[in-house]
Structure 1
């Protein structure tokens, strides 16, 4: 019996090749989020990585999606693209203060994606984790960490993440380490191997395997599964096919 819910989605919702493949021909761009939210159960927001958003923007997004839908927010590049993460206190505060709590119960995890050149430094990571609050404006926050250097495949890193109740991202990708570990009360997966010559991005066996994995992750708490990168044009089809398998 699953303990948590499973939410499945994609990165963003504005990508021109999805017009006519995921979005009906002629659908207004202003209706894309509404359409995506009726077919998916989560979206990982990329825009927050590149720039601050307005509180009114988050409120508008929240109003466009149904109950139970979640937005994961990618933390600002200014917070994570640095040699010493613990030196990013000001930029982390700027990110946290942009008004995303307007999402209310539509707020999912915050993704902190480290640079591929960032090497594991236990003291730095411990200090960085101290900068990530458990709540904001009374709203609980969940933090997911995506290291992209092999040095993070270290029990010391997993111990730090677990102590902070921060999920280590299960990143299924060609160029980055895939660390499969339970370190929080939720799991966060980013699946990045979709191929264009398969209509659903992944073949039936692969999708069955991901459905099995997601059910396993949900035994410990909520699970978030995002189809990211790879043949991006296929990611909505992959997500909807996985949702269908999960019932």
Structure 2
């Protein structure tokens, strides 16, 4: 089976410690997205978790990045922090009305990150899944869920995701359990244990391991892998080191 697209990425692009370490020292800040999007294959936008972005901003971002690049978009906290996810129809509607359909083919998966205290409640999670739109303005949507509680290690959860082609995030984390299952025609990983004392964030052994995983994840499907937490200053170097291993 042919290998799908593997996009290695980082979280965001505005981070002062990257200036001079990842970004050239003389690069104007307004050109950081332009530069970053030509070094990695994807960027996960975290700002959307906290608030809406303007339609003009989405249009500008789409114009700035090259063809083939994609943004992953983190779902709003107002959708995932409520007690009953099943009651989130209005919030989900508001989230999808902010204008990011302007990204078109540069729109990657939508990430829904659950609170660590949220346990798997089959009825509520099933209702939430049904609220997630399948497309927006003619653009098909991909959804990924990052559960952070052991109770989601449940075949009923896996089946809910498989039925809607929703990826379960592979999370390399020291704080939360990793719920690992292949449930969609794409894979989504968030690697969150970078070490500031290692120039590439992860050791050579771990990067080799992730490269092998990436090839397995991309066997006949796409894969998105983000260096996202831990020693954030090392995220670009970690992403580039993993890209190099994957050719």
Q: Shorter-chain-normalised TM-score: which range?
A: over 0.9
Q: CA deviation at 1:26?
A: 2.6
Q: How does 1:50-129 map to 2 (within 5 A)?
A: 50-129=50-129
CA distance in 2: counterparts of 1:86 and 1:72, whole angstroms = 23
Give 1:107 deviation, angstroms.
0.2
Pairwise mapping of residues 1-247 of structure 1 onto structure 2 (< 5 A)? 1-247=1-247
Q: SS in structure 1 opposite 2:88?
A: helix
Question: RMSD in angstroms over aligned alpha carbons?
Answer: 0.9
Structure 2 contact 74–110 (Cα < 8 Å) conserved = yes
Unaligned 5+ runs, structure 1:
none
Q: Secondary structure at the match of 1:171?
A: strand
> CA deviation digits over 1:106-162, x for unaligned, max 9?
000000001111111000011001100111111000000001111111111111111
Secondary structure of 1:161's match?
Answer: helix
**CA distance in structure 2 between the partners assigned to 1:171 and 1:105 by the alignment:** 25
Alignment check: 8 A CA contact 1:82 1:115 kept? no
| TM-score (structure 1 length as normaliser) | 0.98
Q: Is the 8 A contact 1:9 1:44 kept in 2?
A: yes
* Helix, strand or coil at the partner of 1:38: coil
* Aligned-pair CA distance for 1:2: 3.8
Supply the distance in 1 between the matched residues of 2:8 and 2:166 (Cα, whole angstroms). 19
CA distance, structure 2, for counterparts of residue 5 and residue 46 of structure 1? 23
For 2:214 and 2:198, the matched residues in 1 are separated by 21
Name the SS for the 1:240 alignment partner: helix
Contact in 2 for aligned 1:54/1:98 (Cα 8 Å): yes
- SS at the partner of 1:187? strand
Residues paired across the two proteins, number: 247
Q: CA deviation at 1:206?
A: 1.0
Q: Structure 2 length normalisation: TM-score? A: 0.98
- Equivalent-residue separation in structure 1 for 2:4 and 2:85 (angstroms): 31
* Residues 54-73 of structure 1: per-residue CA shift (max 9 Å, x gap): 11111111111111000000
Preserved CA contact (<8 Å) 2:150 2:179:
no
> How far has the Cα of 1:205 moved from its partner?
1.3
Q: Runs in 1 of length 4+ with deviation above 6 angstroms? A: none
